[in-house]
Chains A and B, each alone.
Chain A
């Protein structure tokens, strides 16, 4: 009986030993898994607050409504992309529309609000008759009214009746070039290129960024009153919160800033043939 008990006791010990032998590693796995799941993925991310401004003859201005891209990698690593950006043949808005036979009134209408396409402004009644009338709008409105039979709907929907090159040709052309650059980068780096648009005060936030070195650029240049400005800058992004980023914005300007690793190419807008 005693030997039987000893045997059973030994067996139990062996079972317990085996049990703990297997259980302990799994306990570690459990603990690791729990920590991994409860850690906030946002905590190790960075934020960049961009503030874009430019100096012109009329003083320093904020650059509103322009898209900036965050490309993974340093300027050196992105040299092939930079070459492509510099080689882009950036037609100005005015030259594009003139080359497509747009009227002076339409060119002025687009320029008044820095519009890249007709979608950026509501076409008000005053542009459909009288001194400020835009011939392209008049033609489209007449066609829309004939089809829709409702003056108000025809006015609001008239962009549907404009020729594609007048409607958004310049914007489409620019986007095609930008998208091609972005696709190249995304294919080569296998990372997504983030982009953000500045608000009317030239501010934009790039949030939830993986820490590392990045290139920040507007890729196709941004038209101001008299020039086209292209920014190609480098920024090391560290894990930080929004509050800190707000206090320390990354200011991009067309003026030289020795603290920034930045190449700014400012070209006067070309003179277009009328």
Chain B
């Protein structure tokens, strides 16, 4: 605290060197003024910077991330696309399209690590010199192989090379981001319809009526997004304990299959143009998935009535070229279209927003629609407004 220290200093000076008081006083005053001016200036600059600062990106980066080390001796067990040498290579100098696809996928794909040649042509020294053989063997082998041994066949999963020699990281960190312009894709596939929903068995069971093959299924989003059975919410109480309702979230494409439907060749960016979609990140980045804070919403549920069009609720998705920074874009009014008292006649068994608010007043938690992390908070004004 400079001002307080300054005062003490002045007092001490006054007490011990009275003959110097006039000069010391003016000096002390100047010190005070300069210190205060400095503090004030810092505040102003800080305030301006805060006002003009860009909104933070939603993609959070773990604190432990490191980019390609500069100056430090290279750790050949850790592969970084962003290293100075690697980033000057084109993707297909190492990744061949397709890899031996019939063994890995039922469609041509880049589904495996590059061949040895891709590494050896530059890193011969790291593979074959006597120094490389010291200890557990050439460290560079462990970029792909789980162990550095001549006959070692076991490898890490493609896309998740070894990063054990680097600082601790979440398992699903990646060295690339993926750009998928939803707006452009909606333009061309908006009218898309298949014969029936992708999740046929679930659809039939919940709707309890056979699908009409002539009726278009407008959920073109289902080309890429299907019910994600790996992501479950907390167990629902009976009678809603149907396992299908425990999985409200949709998956994202994890392979190139749905991309290559159109972008295998000719339509840019085509398969060989990896950088057309995969944008190299300067550092490792966290997994692509968004933080899931959704209500207990079952896309396939709703007594069959949730099988509506995706954009009816996700009102902003055809607007944006990137979902980065997009807030949850399902307005409560989308729920209120059915889940409100005045509509209850049509949906007699559906819980309404009014009923949820009433439950909150009694128990302090909205548990029908919300998971506890959200449900224990006071319902916002938007909930009242939506049912008025």
On A, residues with C-beta under 8 Å from B are 4, 7-8, 11-12, 14-15, 18-19, 22-23, 25-26, 29-30, 33, 36-37, 64-65, 67, 113-117, 119-122, 124, 148, 150, 152-153, 156-157, 159-161, 164, 167-168, 171, 175, 194-197, 199-201, 203-207, 241-243, 246
Contact = CB atoms under 8 A, between A and B. Distances in A.
A64 B267 CA distance: 26
A130 to B, nearest CB: 16
B265 to A, nearest CB: 5
Given A23-B36, A119-B192, A124-B195, A150 B385 contact: no
Contact of B316 (A124, A157, A207): A207
Contacts of B10: 11, 15
Contacts of B262: 119, 159-160
A156 B108 CA distance: 13
A165 B314 CA distance: 32
B319 interface: yes
Given A37-B50, A196-B318, A122 B40 contact: no
A195 B264 CA distance: 29
B42 to A, nearest CB: 10
A14 B331 CA distance: 58
B43 A171 contact: no
A197 B311 contact: yes
Contacts of B108: 148, 153
Given A15-B29, A153-B106, A160-B262, A167 B267 contact: yes
A175 B39 CA distance: 55
22 contacts: A7-B21, A11-B10, A11-B14, A18-B29, A19-B36, A25-B40, A26-B39, A33-B51, A64-B191, A65-B190, A117-B188, A121-B191, A122-B195, A124-B195, A148-B107, A160-B263, A160-B264, A161-B266, A175-B187, A197-B186, A207-B315, A246-B333
Interface in B195-243: 195, 216, 218
B264 to A, nearest CB: 4
**4 shortest A-B CB distances, which residue pairs?**
A197-B318, A65-B190, A120-B191, A205-B315
A1 B191 CA distance: 94
Given A19-B36, A30-B43, A14 B29 contact: yes
A157 B3 contact: no
Nearest to B21: A7
Given A167-B266, A199-B312, A119 B189 contact: yes
B309 interface: yes
A194 B319 contact: yes
Given A26-B43, A160-B264, 15 more contacts: A4-B18, A7-B21, A15-B7, A37-B50, A67-B187, A148-B108, A153-B106, A175-B187, A195-B183, A195-B319, A199-B309, A200-B218, A207-B315, A207-B329, A242-B333
B261 A157 contact: yes
A196 to B, nearest CB: 5
B4 to A, nearest CB: 11
B194 interface: yes
A160 B188 contact: no
Nearest to A163: B266
A113 B191 contact: yes
A161 B10 CA distance: 85
B118 interface: no
Contacts of B333: 242-243, 246
Nearest to B191: A120
Residue among A7, A153, A207 having the largest count of chain B Cβ atoms under 10 Å: A153
B166 interface: no
Contacts of A161: 265-266
Nearest to B185: A119
B156 to A, nearest CB: 27
Interface string B1-18: 001000100110010001
B119 interface: no
B297 interface: no
Nearest to A154: B107
Given A11-B25, A168-B188, A197-B186, A29 B218 contact: no
B44 interface: yes
Contact of A160 (B3, B29, B267): B267
Contact of A22 (B37, B106, B191, B218): B37
A120 B190 contact: yes
A196 B319 contact: yes
Considering residues A161, A241, A243, which has the most beta carbons from chain B within 10 angstroms of its beta carbon? A243
Nearest to B43: A26
